[in-house]
Amino acid sequence: MTTFLALSLTGLVVGCIYALTACGLVVTYTTSGVFNFAHGAIGMVAAFTYWQLSVAWGWPAPLAFLTVLLVLAPLLGAVVERVLVRPLYGAPIGVTLVATLGLLVTLLGVGFLAWPPDTTRVLPKFFEGHTITVFSLVIDYNQLLVIVTSIAVAVGLRVFFSGTRLGIAMRAVVDDPELAALAGTKPERVSQLSWALGAGLAALAGVLLAPLQTLNVTDLTLLVINGYAAAMAGRLRNLPATVAGALVIGISSSLVLGYAGPQVVNYVRPAIPMILLFVAVLFLKQERLRAGSLAGLRMPRTAGLRQSVGVGLGFVVVAGLVSGQLSPASLAIGGQGMVLAFIMLSLVLLSGYGGQVSLCQLTFAGLGAYAMGKSGGGALGLLAAIALPAAAGALVALTVVRLRGLFLALATLAFAQAMDQIFFNHALGYGGTLEIPRPRLPLVDTGDDRAYFVLLAVVFALGAIGLLTLRRRAFGRRLIALNDSPAASATMGVSPVMTRLLVFTLASAVAGLGGALLGGLHGSVSPNDFLLLNSCVLLLLATLGGLYTPTGAFLAAMSYAFFPELQKLVPELGQVQFLLTGLGVLALGRNRYGIGGQIADAGERLRSLRVHQVDRVEVARAAG
Amino acid sequence: MLRVEDVEVRFGGVQALKGVSLEVPDAALVGLIGPNGAGKTTLFNVITGLEKPNRGSVRLGAGDTWVDVTSLPPHQRARRGLGRTFQRIEVFSSLTVHENVLAAAEARRSWSRDDASPAQTASEMLERVGLRHLEHERVDMLSTGLLRLVEVARALASRPRLLLLDEPGSGLDSTESEALGDLLVELVQDGRSILLVEHDVELVMRVCHEIHVLDFGQVIAHGTPDEVQRDPAVQAAYLGTSAA
Ligand SMILES: Nc1ncnc2c1ncn2[C@@H]1O[C@H](COP(=O)(O)OP(=O)(O)OP(=O)(O)O)[C@@H](O)[C@H]1O
Ligand SMILES: [Mg+2]
C-alpha cells in the first residue's frame, strides 16, 4: 500500500508538471491559433537559465525563480509572437508548424551552445531535505511545492478566463478575431499576451521538472511531448480535461515503472504518453470538410516532361563528373545529401502536393533500412525495403487518415516517438548497428563508392522526374484539388480517404527505399539515424527549400549534408547554423514556397522578360 | 430526382432548418429563395452530405427506385449524380481554370464507366459557360463572378443529373446573368434537374418552373413563380416583418 501511495505521489508530481506545460500549450493554441512545438524548448531554456542564475552565478533561488518565470520567459514569449507568429497569421498549418519547429531547433542550438553537454549540471531540489509525513507516506517539500503551485495555477487560470475582462477577451478572440476586433479588443495584443503566458507556464514546468532529473537539453525539450498528449485529452481547448489527462499520464507511467518487470518498462513506459496521444487524436470528432485556407497562393510552375528529363540527365552527368573530383569522405557526404533529397521527395509529394504534414518520414526510412538489413539485400531486400514501410504507412494512414493539419502532425509525431522508443532501440540494437548491404545491380559495381554515388544521383533524378510526371497527371491534380478544397473535391466524387491513404502509402514507400539506400551508403544504421527530431529537421529543411519542387529538396538536403563540413573549415559557422535556420523560418513568412519557390519565380520572371522582348520586337516590326 | 423529408439542423442554439421537405422532379428547374440566414446553404450542405441533419432524410432516384443517401459521405452522393457550386467560392486556387474543370472530369472518369476524354469534356464545359478564352488563366486572376462560372463548369464536368447552384449569379452584370439564365434553361432541356438558390429574384422568376421559399429554416411557400409572388407570407418575409 505504501509503495502504491509513494508511486502515485511521484506520478502525481510529474503529472502536475505535465499539466502546467499542457495548460500553457492550450492557452497559446486557443488564443493565437498556433500550436507551439517549441513549448518544451522554452521550458528547457528556462530551466537552464534558472540553473545559470541560481547555481552558476549564485543568485538567491527565489530571486532567480521569479526573474525567470515573471520576466525572462514572458518576454521571450512576447518577442516570439511578435517576430515569428504574427507574420504568419492565417497561414496554412504546414507553415506555422514548421515555424515553431524552427524555433525548437533554434532554441536547441542555443541550449547546446550556452550549456555544452560536456559538464553535468544538477539543480538542487527546492527546500532540499525538508519532508513531512502523512500516514507513513513521506512527502518532500519539493513535491509539495509542485502540487501547491499547480493547484494555484489551475485556480488562477480558471479565474482569469471566466472572471476577468482580459481573460474573456482572450476567449472571444479565439471564437472570432474580427468580431473581437470590432468590440475593441486588439487581437494581436491578446495573442501576444497568450504567448507570454504560455511561455511563463512552459518555464514554470521546466524549472519544476529539472530538479527531478539531470539537466539535459534534448530530454527536457522532448519530455514536454507528454504535455502534448495531455493537451490532446482536452482536445486542445478544454483546460480541466487537459489537467486530468496530464495526471493520468503521470500516475500511470509511474505505476508501470514501479510494478512492471524491466522488460515491460523498457518497451512500454516510454511509449505510454505516445500511445495516449495517439488514442486521444483518434477519438477526435471527425473534422467537417472545410474550405481551403488561403486563396491565391502561387504554386511554382511544373516543368514539362521534356524539360525535367533534360535537367535530370544533365544532373546525372554533372554528378558523374563531380564524383571524379571528390574525396572518399566528400563522396559519402554528397551521397548522404543525395539520399536525403530523395527522402525529401516523399515530403514534396505528401506535404507539398497533398498538404499532409508528416513528422515521421525518417521512421519509414528506418523501416526500409531495417527490412533491407534483415532480408540480406538483393532484389528481394529492395522489395522488402519498399513493401514494409508501405504497409506500415498504409496502416498508420488507415488510423490517422481522418485527421488533417495539426492533428495529423501530432499523430505522426506520436508514431515516430513511439517507434524510436519501442522499435528502433531494440531492432537496431542499443546504440549498436544493423548492417545494411547495398543493392546489387548488373553492369554496375555498387560496392565502389563512386559508382554508388552516381547510382544515388540517378535514383534521385528518376524520383524527381517521376514526381513531376505525377504532378502533371490526373493523380497530381486530384491531390492538389483535395488540398485546395476538400469540400469541392468530395462533391465531384473524389474520396478524400482513399486519396490520402494512397499518397501516404506511396510517400512511405519512397522514404523506405531512401532509408535502405542510406543504410547501404554507410554500410550500417543505428537508432540515432531515424530519431523524431531528425524527422522534424527534415521537414523543416524541406519546407525551407520549398516543399513544392525537387530543386528545393535537393538544395535543402545538400546544404544539410555539407554544413558540418563547412563548419570544420570555419568553426564559427556552428554558431550561425541555428541562427540561419531561424532566419530561414522568418523568411517563410514572406515566401511560403521557400528557396525552390524563389528560384521558380525568378525563372518565370526571366521567361516573361524574354516573351516581352519578343513582343516588343514584333510590335516594332508591325509599326515599321 | 430528389426528395428531402422533414430535415432539421441545429447549430447549438440556432435552429437553421426545421422540418424542411421538398422535392425536385426530373428535368425541372426549381428555385429556392429566402432572406439572408434562412437556411438555404445549410440545406444544400445537408443534401450534398457536408452537414449531418439532426433529423430527416435525403433520397435520390426516379420512378419507383429511390435510394436513401442520408448516411452516405459526400463523394458517394456525387457519384450518384449530385453536383453543386458553392456560395463561398471553392475553386482550386493552385490550378488553372482549365485544370479546375479537368480535375472534375478526371475524377468522373475514375469512378464511372464513361471514358470520354477529360480534356475534351473540360473544354466543352468551359465553352458552355463562356470561359473558353480564359482557360489558361490562373484562377486568382478572375473576378468572383467569373469564378462562380468556373464552379458551374466544374460541376457540369462530373455530368450530374441534379445540379445545386448556390447563388451563381451574384457578381455577374446584367448581360452575364441573362446568359446564365439561358444556360440554365438549356441545361434543364438536356434532361438535368437544377435546384437554384439565387438572390436575383428576377432571374429566378424568369427561369424556374417552381419555387420554394425558405424563411427562418422553414418552407413558408411553394408553387409556380406567379403563385409565390402573390403569396402574402412571402411578401411579409421579404419586407422583413414576421412571417408567422
Ligand atoms: N456552421 C455553422 N455553425 C453555426 N451556425 C451556422 C453554421 N452555418 C450556418 N449557420 C447559421 O444557420 C443559419 C442559416 O444559415 P445559411 O447559411 O444556411 O443561410 P442562407 O439562407 O444560405 O443565407 P444567405 O442568403 O446569407 O446565404 C444562419 O443563422 C447561420 O448563422
Ligand atoms: Mg447561403
DSSP 8-class letter at A422: I
Interval between CA B42 and ligand 1 midpoint (Å): 6
d(CA A259, CA A254): 9
A163 pLDDT above the threshold of 50: yes
Looking at residue A254, its pLDDT comes to 85
Task: Provide the CB-side half-sphere exposure for A47 (13 A, CA).
Answer: 34
CA distance A7 to chain B (A): 43
Rounded-to-10 torsion of CA A207, A213, A219, A220: 0
Point out the ligand 1 atom lying closest to the alpha carbon of residue B9: 12
User: Contact A340/A572 with Cβ under 8 angstroms?
Assistant: no
Contact between A378 and A439 (Cβ < 8 Å): yes
Contact B91 A488 (CB under 8 A): yes
Query: How high is the pLDDT of residue A216?
Result: 78
Rounded percentage of chain A residues whose pLDDT exceeds 90: 27
pLDDT of residue A174: 60
- Which residue CA neighbors atom 12 of ligand 1 most closely? B16
- Which residues touch A362 (CB under 8 Å, ≥6 apart)? A343, A416, A511, A515, A529, A530, A531, A534, A535, A538
Please list every residue in chain A whose beta carbon sits closer than 8 Å to the beta carbon of residue B155: 491-492
Q: Taking chain B, what is the end-to-end CA distance rounded to the nearest angstrom?
A: 31
A–B interface: beta-carbon pairs under 8 A: 103
Compute the distance between CA of residue A334 and CA of residue A20 in angstroms, rounded to an integer.
44
Q: Please give the class, per CATH, of domain A2-282.
A: mainly alpha
DSSP letter for A288, please.
P
Per-residue pLDDT at A303: 76
Cα A75 to ligand 1 centroid, rounded to whole Å: 42
Cβ of residue B100 lying under 6 Å from some atom of ligand 1: no
User: Residue A94 in contact with residue A535, Cβ under 8 Å?
Assistant: no
Helices and strands (H, E) in chain A, number of each type: 28, 4
B125 CB-near residues (< 8 Å, 6+ apart): B101, B105, B153, B154, B156, B157
A611/A619 Cα distance (integer angstroms): 12
Which of B70, B50, B40 shows the shortest CA–CA distance to B168?
B40
Contact assessment for residue B199 and residue B167, using Cβ atoms and an 8 Å cutoff = yes
Instruction: For residue A284, give the 3-state DSSP assignment.
Output: coil
Mean pLDDT of chain B: 91
Query: Could you give the CA distance from residue A191 to residue A195 in angstroms, rounded to a whole number?
Result: 6
Q: Separation of B5 CA from ligand 1 center, angstroms?
A: 19
Write the DSSP symbol of residue B137: S
> So what's the pLDDT on residue A587?
66
Sign of CA dihedral B96, B98, B101, B104: negative
- Could you give the CA distance from residue A32 to residue A29 in angstroms, rounded to a whole number? 5
> Three cell numbers at A94?
504546414
Question: What is the structure's pLDDT at A432?
Answer: 57
Q: How confident is the model at residue A298 (pLDDT cuts 50, 70, 90)?
A: low
pTM value is 0.85
What is residue A567's predicted lDDT score, i.e. its pLDDT? Answer: 65
DSSP one-letter string for A477-491: HHHHHHHH-HHHHHT
Distance (Å) from the alpha carbon of A407 to chain B's nearest alpha carbon: 20
Residue A624 has pLDDT above 80, yes or no: no
Residue boundaries of the structural domains of chain A = 2-282, 330-592
Reference B58, options B14, B137, B2; nearest CA is B2
Q: Domain locations in chain B?
A: 1-81+160-244, 91-159
Please name the residue ranges forming H helices in B29-173.
Answer: 40-48, 74-79, 97-111, 118-129, 144-157
Phi, psi of A564 (to 5 degrees): -60, -30
Gyration radius of chain A over CA positions: 26
> According to the 3-state scheme, what is the secondary structure of A147-200?
HHHHHHHHHHHHHHHHHCHHHHHHHHHHHCHHHHHHCCCCHHHHHHHHHHHHHH
- Structure confidence at residue A295 (pLDDT): 35
Grouping H, G, I as helix, E, B as strand and the rest as coil, residue B110 is helix
Distance CA A172, CA A190 (A): 10
pLDDT at residue A179 in the model? 62
Q: Is the CB of B32 under 6 A from ligand 1?
A: no
Cβ within 8 Å, pair B90-A494: no
B118 vs A contacts (CB less than 8 Å): 474
Strand pairing category for B193-197 and B29-33: parallel
d(CA A74, CA A76): 5
Tens of pLDDT, residue by residue over A316-367, are: 999 989 888 888 888 888 999 999 999 999 999 998 888 888 889 999 999 9
CA dihedral A586, A588, A590, A595 (to 10 degrees): 120
pLDDT tens for each residue of B75-130: 999 999 999 999 999 999 889 999 999 999 999 999 988 888 999 999 999 999 99
Whether the CB-CB separation of A282 and A233 falls below 8 Å is answered with no
Exposed e or buried b for every residue in A201-225, given b needs 16+ CB within 10 A? bbbbbbbbbbbeeebbbbebbbbbb
Q: CA-nearest residue of chain A to B85?
A: A488
Assess whether pLDDT exceeds 70 at residue A614: no
Q: Which residues of A touch B79 (CB under 8 A)?
A: 493
pLDDT at A457 over 80: yes
Distance CA A493, CA B111 (A): 8
Residue B20 beta carbon below 6 angstroms from any ligand 1 atom: no
pLDDT along chain B (244 residues), means of 10: 94 90 94 92 95 94 88 94 94 92 94 89 94 89 90 95 94 89 93 93 91 93 89 77 43
Cβ within 8 Å, pair A481-B90? no
Separation between Cα atoms, residue A442 and residue A423, nearest integer Å: 34
Residue A288 has pLDDT above 50, yes or no: no
Closest CA to A493 of A483, A482, A504, A484: A482
DSSP track, A295-339: TT--PPPPPPHHHHHHHHHHHHHHHHHHHHH--HHHHHHHHHHHH
C-alpha of residue B87 to centroid of ligand 2, in Å: 6
Nearest CA distance, A600 vs chain B (angstrom):
15
Q: Tell me which residues of chain B, numbers 154 to 183, contact chain A at a CB-CB cutoff of 8 Å.
A: 154-155, 157-158
Across the interface, whether the CB atoms of B93 and A288 are under 8 A apart is answered no
Residues 6+ positions from B162 with CB-CB distance below 8 Å? B1, B2, B24, B60, B81, B82, B83, B192, B193, B194, B195
pLDDT band at A175 (very low <50, low <70, confident <90, very high): low
Cβ atoms B51, B86 nearer than 8 A: no
Cα–Cα distance measured from residue A124 to residue A67, given in angstroms and rounded to the nearest whole number: 18
Grid coordinates standing for B13?
442554439
Q: Is the CB of B18 under 6 A from ligand 1?
A: no
Pick the CATH number of B1-81+160-244 from 3.10.20.30, 3.40.50.970, 3.40.50.300, 3.40.50.10490: 3.40.50.300
**Cβ B202 vs Cβ B121: under 8 Å:** no
Contact by Cβ (8 Å): A68, A207:
yes
CA–CA separation, A458 and A480 (whole Å): 27
At CB < 8 Å, which residues of chain A contact B? Answer: 288-289, 291-292, 294-299, 474, 477-478, 480-481, 483-485, 487-496
Contact B52 CB / ligand 1 (< 6 Å): no
Amino acid at B242: S
Check pLDDT > 60 for residue A297: no
pLDDT of A53: 93
Compute the distance between CA of residue A472 and CA of residue A468 in angstroms, rounded to an integer. 6
Q: Shortest Cα distance from A481 to chain B (angstroms)?
A: 5
Which of B92, B106, B155 lies at the smallest CB-CB distance from A484?
B92
Q: What is the mean pLDDT of residues A265-281?
A: 70
Q: Do A295 and B111 touch (CB under 8 A)?
A: no
Task: For residue A286, give the DSSP letter.
Answer: P
Which residue from B4, B14, B219 has its CB within 8 A of the most atoms of ligand 1, so it is best to mutate? B14
